């Protein structure tokens, strides 16, 4: 039976292990009972789901993005919007009933054959992010009662090249910082952000959102909030990081440690960084997943990789690296336990200083007929 809360009547019941809740508004009890009875008959007969499955992917995607604006970080929603735009070519106009695992697999294969900006092949990671949004939308459809089950549960990820990361050598770091000093941003924040990333492993978005109130000078740590994993953490400050933070607390005209000329929060990576990367010669030839030649350049996120790798090469345990960098799984932190090429070369060069010792023994002649003691 419907129950009343305030002036409105509601239905709340469980059928075949699934909970159903609905508001009938400010109506009489008899009208609410009649509507509830009709609704239950539709659910038992399956007509309710048949009607809901006629909802289009476009309408569902818009609803998911509206939900995301209230529940997720702005960067996440921006990525969803880009994925929706790509997915629309295949799934736009289709009802939820027409979205199948086979169609999703066809989409992945088709996207891998397309070319992205600059004529480069689409990377598997890009396709995976698009499929993630598609699968999220279908999961929310099940959660919101638009579908009885998730047809995309069997759809998996494409294999990604997760080892592509650039760990700075000391010489490369010196060149990069020198070019940051030459930048028009040198008196503002560019070098400071680069050095702080190298000494804390913080993500670009975390640095951009860092406020003076997040700084704890006496205890020597930063409180990082609004992280990628939605879990707050404390990042310790070594001597150089502490020096940088102290300087910007005194000079920043804003509540943010790093801000633009108007005192507002930074939202994009300045072009001065990419100019410094180019001038420092941090670009090299590489190949994509299909073996095609591409130009690889050092990214801001590689500062975080450099930090983690340097901890790993100094034998810092995986658990500590996880806590400092905010990783959820050991698998993420284990990437930093693999030494950089220069570190591996230094390891084998140790053998050059330790020539093998050859001991020459005396050869004893045995008498004829004597038995060996072995």
Mean pLDDT confidence for 257-280: 89
pTM of this prediction? 0.60
Of 216 and 5, which is predicted with more confidence? 216
- pLDDT for res 196: 95
DSSP 335: G
Q: How far apart are CA 32 and CA 373, in angstroms?
A: 103
Cα of 276 vs its chain's centroid, Å: 25
Q: Which helix (H) or strand (E) holds 10?
A: strand 8-15
pLDDT at 154 over 80: yes
Q: Which helix (H) or strand (E) holds 11?
A: strand 8-15
Q: How far apart are CA 108 and CA 129, in angstroms?
A: 11
pLDDT at 179 over 60: yes
DSSP 362: P
- pLDDT for res 12: 84
Q: How far apart are CA 202 and CA 301, in angstroms?
A: 9
- pLDDT for res 117: 73
pLDDT at 282 over 90: yes
* Confidence grade of residue 359 (pLDDT, cut at 50, 70, 90): low
Q: How far apart are CA 339 and CA 313, in angstroms?
A: 6
pLDDT at 47 over 70: no
Query: pLDDT averaged over the chain?
Result: 82
Q: How far apart are CA 355 and CA 332, in angstroms?
A: 39
- pLDDT for res 106: 94
DSSP 41: H
- pLDDT for res 340: 61
| Residue 350 · residue 342 · CB < 8 Å | no
Of 118 and 30, which is predicted with more confidence? 30
- pLDDT for res 322: 87
Which residues are within 8 A (CB) of 157 and not within 5 positions of it... i.e. 6 or more apart?
A: 124, 128, 131
| Residue 183 · residue 197 · CB < 8 Å | no
Mean pLDDT confidence for 61-71: 91
In 3-state terms, the chain is what percent helix, strand and coil (to 5)? 50, 15, 35
DSSP 350: G
* Confidence grade of residue 319 (pLDDT, cut at 50, 70, 90): confident
**Backbone phi and psi for residue 161, each to the nearest 5 degrees, phi listed first:** -90, 85
């Amino acid at each position: 039976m419907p129950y009343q809360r305030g002036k409105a009547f509601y239905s709340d019941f469980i059928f075949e292990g699934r909970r159903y809740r609905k508001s009938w508004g400010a109506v009489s009890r008899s009208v609410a009972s009649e509507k509830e009875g009709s609704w239950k008959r539709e659910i038992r007969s399956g007509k309710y789901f048949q009607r809901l499955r006629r909802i289009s992917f476009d309408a569902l995607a818009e609803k998911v993005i509206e939900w995301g604006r209230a529940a997720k970080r702005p960067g996440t929603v921006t990525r969803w919007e880009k994925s929706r735009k790509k997915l629309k070519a295949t799934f736009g106009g289709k009802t939820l009933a027409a979205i199948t695992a086979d169609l999703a697999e066809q989409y992945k294969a088709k996207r891998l054959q397309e070319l992205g900006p600059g004529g480069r092949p689409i990377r598997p990671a890009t396709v995976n992010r698009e499929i993630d949004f598609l699968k999220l939308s279908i999961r929310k459809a099940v959660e919101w009662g638009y579908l009885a089950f998730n047809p995309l549960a069997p759809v998996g990820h494409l294999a990604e090249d997760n080892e592509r990361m650039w760990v700075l050598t000391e010489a490369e770091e010196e060149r990069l910082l020198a070019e940051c000093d030459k930048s028009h941003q040198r008196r503002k924040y560019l070098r400071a952000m680069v050095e702080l990333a190298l000494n804390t492993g913080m993500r670009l978005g975390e640095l951009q959102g860092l406020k003076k109130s997040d700084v704890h000078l006496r205890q020597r740590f930063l409180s990082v909030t609004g992280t990628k994993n939605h879990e707050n953490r404390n990042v310790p400050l070594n001597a150089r990081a502490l020096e940088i933070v102290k300087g910007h607390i005194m000079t920043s005209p804003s509540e943010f440690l790093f801000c633009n000329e108007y005192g507002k929060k930074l939202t994009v990576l300045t072009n001065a960084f990419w100019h410094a990367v180019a001038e420092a010669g941090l670009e090299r030839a590489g190949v994509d997943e299909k073996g095609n030649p591409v130009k690889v350049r050092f990214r801001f996120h590689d500062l975080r990789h450099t930090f983690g790798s340097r901890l790993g090469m100094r034998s810092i345990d995986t658990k500590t690296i996880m806590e400092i960098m905010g990783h959820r799984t050991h698998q993420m932190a284990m990437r930093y336990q693999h030494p950089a090429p220069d570190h591996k070369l230094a390891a084998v060069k140790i053998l050059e200083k330790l020539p093998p010792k050859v001991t020459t023994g005396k050869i004893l002649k045995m008498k004829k007929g004597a038995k060996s003691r072995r």
